[in-house]
Amino acid sequence: MYSEKVLEHYRNPRNVGEIPSADGLGIYLSESCGDITKLWIRVENGRIVDAKFKTQGCAAAIASGSMLTEMVVGKTLEEVQKITKEDVASALDGLPEQKIHCSLLATDAVKDAIYDYLKRRGLPVPRELEEKHENVRSQIEKLKTMGYILI
């Protein structure tokens, strides 16, 4: 059910890991399945110059993290905020309909990393990023109190 490209990124994911002293760290937790992605970015002159991720999720989520971290390098923060789950799915030569939401882990984790970057520097944070961040943090707190292990 997966394209060759999805399988290739799933088997050999790019940019897995953390960036020490990253400029931003983002998290996205899926409400529908409980899977989670953490994503680190390094930013220079308003552009992402490096991105790494870790995912506790399905093959589509891993392939999406791999693809997205390749897509964002060299892009401005504004350009990255416009990347949708459909863009990532299409860069992977498609995802099955019921798996498209899995690419949201990557797209929203990078948006949360941008939130973190802007917040740390005292820069204006778009309302959409603020809302996404608050939503994910409250879900994470809920899971922590239930004893779930988070990456």
Residues involved in catalysis: 33, 102
Question: Coil, helix or strand for 55?
Answer: strand
Handedness of CA 53, 56, 62, 65 (dihedral sign): negative
Q: Min. distance of Cβ 13 from ligand FES in angstroms?
A: 14
* CA–CA distance, 58 with 104 (Å, rounded to integer): 12
CB of 34 to ligand FES, least distance (A): 7
Give the count of residues interacting with ligand FES (CB under 6 A): 9
Q: Which residues neighbour 108 within 8 Å (Cβ) at sequence distance 6 or greater?
A: 26, 28, 132, 136
Q: Tokens at residue 22, please?
A: 């990253």
- Region 6-45 residues binding ligand FES, contact defined as CB under 6 A: 30, 33, 35
Residue 30 Cβ vs ligand FES, minimum distance, rounded to whole Å: 5
The DSSP secondary-structure symbol of 149 reads -
Is 136 a binding residue for ligand FES by CB under 6 A? The answer is: no
Site string for ligand FES, 55-94 (x = CB under 6 A): --xx-xx---------------------------------
Q: What is the DSSP string of 73-105?
A: TT-BHHHHHT--HHHHHHHTT---GGGGGGGHH
CB proximity list for 96: less than 8 A, separation 6 or greater: 1, 2, 60
Closest distance between ligand FES and the C-beta of residue 35, in Å? 3
Site for ligand FES in 98-117 (CB under 6 A): 102, 105
Of 25 and 95, nearer to ligand FES (C-beta) is 95
- Residues at the contact surface with ligand FES, assessed by CB under 6 A: 30, 33, 35, 57-58, 60-61, 102, 105
